[in-house]
Structure 1
Amino acid sequence: MKRILIYIFTLSTVAAFAQRGRPSPDAEYIKANYTKFEYQIPMRDGVKLFTSVYVPKDQTRKYPFMMDRTCYSVSPYGPDTYKTSLGPSTQFVHDGYIFVYQDVRGRYMSEGMYKEMTPALEVHKTNKDVDEGTDTYDTIDWLLKNVANNNGKVGVWGISYPGFYTTAALTSRHPALVAASPQAPIADLWRDDGWHNGAFFLVANFGFYPGFINRQDDKPTQRRGGRMNPGTDDGYDFFLKMGPMKNTNAKYYKDTMRLWNDLLAHPDYDQHWKDRNILTHLHDIKTAVLVTGGWYDAEDLYGAINTYKVLAKNNPKSPIYFTMGPWVHGGWAGGDGDALGDISFGGPTGPWYRENVEFRFFSHYLKGTILGDLATINTFETGTNKWRTYKAWPPVASVEKSLYLLPGGKLSFTAATSTKESFDAYESDPANPVPFTAAKSMGMDREYMVADQRFLKDRKDVISYTSDVLDKDVTIAGNIWPSLNVSTTGTDADFIVKVIDVYPDTAANNTIRGKEIDMKGYQQMVRSEPIRGKYRNAFDKPEPFVPGKITPVKFELQDVLHTFKKGHRIMVQIQSSMFPLMDRNPQTFVNIMKADESDFKKATHKVYTSKLHPSFLKVRVMN
């Protein structure tokens, strides 16, 4: 069986890679050159947080702190057992830092009750008003006073959930916190990992929570969560047989997981989720920040992009850096980052980032080294496989244009001219949903984000629009906004838009780790996103479709930087299921988390392509 999400999601540090069996070249060096200490650091409300501190044995100079706050355990526990890697990369280990790892409140060996993405507070009136910002502040204060030979400067980093804790650390506004790098951070739990524009990401969440939940009380423990054995590698078959979402409890979890029940109880973007949106608190930040993400991050692409955008907008006088590479979730932290699935990126990208961006950033702000020519924005342009630097994102040189869906399956930057009504119709059957991958898997296989879409060529419930062969390169930079005119015979419907790069029949083959990949006619997915139609006007106020009524549906695909090369074609596909990546929409206006099997109905959807009712994608094209 391929890795399920929990194995991807918890790769929050380079140490995590090493501790999963990959030998670490730094293991013996760390034991020889660092001394490990363990502390229970008191917070302002009396709760103590378990913290491991690795201090250089060489005390002839002062060192800054590098801190990683995590809900995934700071193991190994015990003063005589050492991590086999420290910090974001090996460069940090050999350059000398005081490394700090902390179990956050309510996780593993720390006291307190755990809250998923602890809601941040703007005002802290009493010592009982605590959040991740105050816990970070109190931790930093304690470290400065109790760990000898520090230089008074603190850096924080983390990937995925620890990326959220890094972002939340910014809200501490502690003067000693001079550098932070949220990497693949969760920013808005409803939008990042739970729902994409209202469509629930089923396979990711179902596979994640059993292993994540190791305790549901305030009692510290080293115990890890369990793992549910589905008894099959075929996720499509498993989840189809499982039936409606309420069967996750009826058949498997039996109402035993508090965090899973929170998901089922809050399908809309209600106050429960709004309180867990850290983006609304990112103002008055003085800390230098490096936001890092991957174009093919299946978990937290939204978090990286929007954390940067909000920080840059709200804190124009602060040094805010942004790097996006051709990486999966956490892929920059270890390995080469030279390919994904069938797609080559022309060479290693991970080592370049670790040495020339990440290490240089922290070294400058924590140790005063020369920053050099580090650009504010470093983004990898897929298609051409080149790094690009910009002063703003999206680039100011990009121009807004519209890609129109036209009759006959055509796609063009020129709008329809005929006044005759036109549309494409397809029947969507919840009992026969469109698969999201050609492979049989119980996981959210990361390769799906670049996978060849020709495996769907015989599906009647997937409609395609294709451009003419391009006579020049077309580079799209930034977010993409579908603006569809649709109708349905039901009262709810999902609409999934995929942007695809169609290779010519003359395309050269790729060689991926010794394997020859035939790229002739390849249909590489560049970006895909759904919208659950009932949220078309507001995520917190679902409303039904009126059967047969032409209705506008507008939503956002996440950012790209991709060049469709001369000789290629651009394709847009639309479908209404992508299973089991996303849960099935019954296509009736019901609470899907409580839906019965009888609520699931076939429906016919229409996408309109006329001058009167156009459907198009608003894109930003580089001049």
Structure 2
Amino acid sequence: MRSFILVLMFFCTVAVYAQAPDPSYVQNNYLKREVYITMRDGVRLFTSIYLPKDSTKKYPVMMQRTPYSVAPYGEGKLKTQVGPSAELMQDGFIFVYQDVRGRWMSEGEFIEMRPHQDTKSGKAFDESTDTYDTIEWLMKNLNYHNGKVGMWGISYPGFYASAGLMANHPALVASSPQAPMADLWRGDDSYHNGAFMLPHNFGFYPSFTNRTDGKPTQTPGKRFDFGTPDGYQFYLNLGPIKNSLKYTETLGKDPYWRANLEHPNYDEFWKSRNILNHHNGIRHAVMVVGGWYDAEDLYGTFKTYQSVEQKNPGIVNIFVVGPWVHGGWARGDGDILGNVNFGQKTGIYYRQNIERKFFNYYLKGIGDNNFNEATMYETGSNQWRTFTEWPPKAAKERNLYFGANGKLSFDAPAAAQSASQYTSDPAKPVPSSDYITSGMPREYMVDDQRHASRRPDVLTFQTDVLDKDITLAGNIWADLKVSTTGTDADFVVKVIDVYPDDAKDNPNTAKHIRMAGYQQMVRSEAMRGKFRKSFDTPVPFKPGKVEEVNFELQDVLHTFKKGHRIMVQVQSTFFPIIDRNPQKFLPNIHYADPSDFQSATHKVYHNKTNASHLKVRVLE
């Protein structure tokens, strides 16, 4: 993964802001304490506490638990910003940061997304009990708190906020899991429906897993050195993923990397880490936040909101999604991404008008509780919209059917026989972007897809020029009818907004790009075909047999403007963001031999009997 992703993850923890005050603000207004807080099993967790210097008032506590370090260490060394935003930092809170078990200066063993225990007794612990024990200590040992605690976190800290929802300490009154990891195999960082997210894991985890001897440390792990900026060629030269184990100083000794390779199916290793199964009995206000273009934890964002909503009727559970990358709402203006312009400073709007209001109301009683259930930024038309539920009930289900000659239409096909085919060669995979990168660029989710639509191993279907705006609101399901000459195959589906030929460039459009005819990716997802019937029990394809491959593309709120077209692309490689499928059924793709990789021809059927389509929700 490119180095900026590592920086991004760290910045999500320390919270970098677009309009930060003078760097001396924290130094001038806060005192810092460093303490070890003892958990119920005796393990001590390192905790940094930022206390307002004005001790004549009582303040609520804002807490973040993180695996990314509470640095800087030393009571005389302070962060330059604290809290979720610059605005909240200046509103008056006690800010608490904690290294979770086995990370950095905390004792204990780190477990990747430690499984939650619904039933606990005695000294049994999980992330919810560590949350409870920390809050209990804070309430008993801080002198001028007001008895209320809020939690927040982005990405991995978002998972800890999500797991902490079940702590149910009476002082915990507001939580905001933001881009929270939820299920690493189904759709978050590690796999998407069994398709391995290669650069996202390859470049990140060696530097993340920094504890090998169980002793507290302030030393980060060693980053992986690609030796080239060209990730496409690097991963192609690497060959089968098992060859990564030759990097003995990084990937070869990383336990989580090995776990990824050893658990390609949705087995108990992954199921036990699915926090979505445990969002029961939550008794305080929740605000889930995410971005439409979150390349890491889009799945976790939507599924966390849905899980809390379904399992906890009656609580305040609000949802905010903007046109942001992973953590983009916590910093930056939020008005551009890559070549696309969103027309408003959405990040600033969120921080000043939504996040600030939420925490000030529930932790201080300031303002009112007139919160919208769902506040979503509608891309394409570039406007904020609010809804009383998500997805909106007014959005009607319709099918977008594939057709002959690359047609895409809301009308079902009538032909008795009709199909399109392409040959996919793992030795020449479709690039996931048309530029050189060694990682997973955050812009790829809005990239121009013309480089893909011009390849013979990509099927392209598109509507006629739209005579009116069409708004899609909610999730999208791909319902493919396919056959293959191989025994396994990946299927990648992309939903694309095709701009008219007279579209004007944006101020942020790259010099080598033109928005005229731009094919903006709106949503994409992959499905490893062997899991089409069962995630935990893969089955091979029978060559030539027509089969259903159905999978969910995550939610959108996007308007395809009059004069644009809706396009769908289908392909079987998306490299190197997704690893290459040998197209030969194997118990474990990661341990394939070079000879296992083979070309295969795939057919996508679009006739009356086998009508491949997307199930969408259209908001009139």
TM over 0.5: yes
Choose which of 229, 239, 242 in structure 2 pairs with 1:233.
Answer: 229
Q: Any idea what the Cα deviations from partners look like across 1:431-478, whole Å, max 9, x if unmatched?
A: 000000001110100111001111124311001001011111000001
In structure 2, what is the equivalent of residue 609 of structure 1? 606
Aligned-partner SS, 1:359: helix
Aligned-partner SS, 2:439: coil
Is 1:310 aligned with 2:341? Answer: no
Q: Any idea what the Cα deviations from partners look like across 1:259-317, whole Å, max 9, x if unmatched?
A: 11111111111001111011111011011011000000000011111100111111111
Equivalent residues in 2 for 1:327-346 (5 A)? 327-346=324-343
In structure 2, what is the equivalent of residue 210 of structure 1? 206
In structure 1, what is the equivalent of residue 439 of structure 2? 443
Aligned-partner SS, 1:332: helix
Shift of residue 28, structure 1, vs aligned partner = 1.2
Distance verdict in 2 for CA 1:347–1:513, change over 3 Å: farther
In structure 2, what is the equivalent of residue 8 of structure 1? 8
Q: Any idea what the Cα deviations from partners look like across 1:383-413, whole Å, max 9, x if unmatched?
A: 0000000010000100000000011110000
In structure 2, what is the equivalent of residue 172 of structure 1? 167
Q: Is the 8 A contact 2:151 2:176 kept in 1?
A: yes
In structure 2, what is the equivalent of residue 580 of structure 1? 576
Normalising by structure 2, we get a TM-score of 0.97
Is 1:155 aligned with 2:154? Answer: no
Choose which of 286, 291, 295 in structure 1 pairs with 2:288.
Answer: 291
Report which stretch shifted further, 336-345 or 508-517.
508-517
In structure 1, what is the equivalent of residue 406 of structure 2? 409
In structure 2, what is the equivalent of residue 561 of structure 1? 557
CA distance in 2, matches of 1:355, 1:103: 28
Aligned-partner SS, 1:164: helix
Is 1:222 aligned with 2:218? Answer: yes
Q: Is the 8 A contact 2:15 2:330 kept in 1?
A: no
Distance verdict in 2 for CA 1:63–1:205, change over 3 Å: same
CA distance in 2, matches of 1:555, 1:514: 34
Aligned-partner SS, 2:283: coil
Q: Is the 8 A contact 2:2 2:203 kept in 1?
A: no
CA distance in 2, matches of 1:515, 1:230: 28
Choose which of 508, 515, 525 in structure 2 pairs with 1:519.
Answer: 515
CA distance in 1, matches of 2:4, 2:62: 30
CA distance in 2, matches of 1:11, 1:530: 29
Give the partner amino acid of 1:491: T
Q: Is the 8 A contact 1:295 1:326 kept in 2?
A: yes
Q: Is the 8 A contact 2:285 2:316 kept in 1?
A: yes
Shift of residue 372, structure 1, vs aligned partner = 5.7
CA distance in 2, matches of 1:457, 1:301: 25
Choose which of 50, 53, 59 in structure 2 pairs with 1:63.
Answer: 59
Shift of residue 4, structure 1, vs aligned partner = 4.7
CA distance in 1, matches of 2:606, 2:509: 43
Q: Any idea what the Cα deviations from partners look like across 1:172-231, whole Å, max 9, x if unmatched?
A: 111111000000110112231111011000011001111101112321111111111111
Distance verdict in 2 for CA 1:514–1:231, change over 3 Å: closer
Q: Is the 8 A contact 2:509 2:515 kept in 1?
A: no
In structure 2, what is the equivalent of residue 551 of structure 1? 547
Q: Which runs of 5+ in 1 are unaligned?
A: none
CA RMSD of aligned residues (A): 1.5
Distance verdict in 2 for CA 1:499–1:454, change over 3 Å: same
Shift of residue 111, structure 1, vs aligned partner = 0.1
CA distance in 1, matches of 2:573, 2:316: 42
Aligned-partner SS, 1:394: coil
Give the partner amino acid of 1:290: M
Aligned-partner SS, 1:426: strand
Equivalent residues in 2 for 1:54-453 (5 A)? 54-127=50-123, 129-191=124-186, 192-251=188-247, 253=250, 255-371=252-368, 373-419=370-416, 421-453=417-449
Q: Is the 8 A contact 1:113 1:216 kept in 2?
A: no
Give the partner amino acid of 1:107: R
CA distance in 2, matches of 1:407, 1:457: 16
CA distance in 1, matches of 2:5, 2:270: 22
CA distance in 2, matches of 1:88, 1:254: 33
CA distance in 1, matches of 2:501, 2:259: 49
Q: Any idea what the Cα deviations from partners look like across 1:309-333, whole Å, max 9, x if unmatched?
A: 1111111110001000000000000
Distance verdict in 2 for CA 1:516–1:357, change over 3 Å: farther
Give the partner amino acid of 1:245: I
Q: Any idea what the Cα deviations from partners look like across 1:51-106, whole Å, max 9, x if unmatched?
A: 00011111121100000100000000001000100100111221110100000011
CA distance in 1, matches of 2:205, 2:548: 36
CA distance in 2, matches of 1:526, 1:33: 44
Q: Any idea what the Cα deviations from partners look like across 1:469-495, whole Å, max 9, x if unmatched?
A: 111100000110010100001100000
Normalising by structure 1, we get a TM-score of 0.97
Q: Which runs of 5+ in 2 are unaligned?
A: none
CA distance in 2, matches of 1:583, 1:526: 22
Distance verdict in 2 for CA 1:23–1:309, change over 3 Å: closer
Q: Is the 8 A contact 2:15 2:84 kept in 1?
A: no
Give the partner amino acid of 1:544: P
Give the partner amino acid of 2:483: S
Give the partner amino acid of 1:257: D
Give the partner amino acid of 1:346: G
Shift of residue 255, structure 1, vs aligned partner = 3.0
CA distance in 2, matches of 1:390, 1:77: 44
Q: Any idea what the Cα deviations from partners look like across 1:129-148, whole Å, max 9, x if unmatched?
A: 11000000000000000011
Report which stretch shifted further, 102-111 or 212-221.
212-221
In structure 1, what is the equivalent of residue 498 of structure 2? 502
CA distance in 2, matches of 1:134, 1:462: 49
CA distance in 2, matches of 1:566, 1:580: 34
In structure 2, what is the equivalent of residue 52 of structure 1? 48
Q: Is the 8 A contact 1:509 1:516 kept in 2?
A: no
Q: Any idea what the Cα deviations from partners look like across 1:562-607, whole Å, max 9, x if unmatched?
A: 0001111100000000000000000001110111111111111000
CA distance in 1, matches of 2:453, 2:493: 16
CA distance in 2, matches of 1:118, 1:373: 36
Identity %: 57
Aligned-partner SS, 1:574: strand
Shift of residue 7, structure 1, vs aligned partner = 2.5
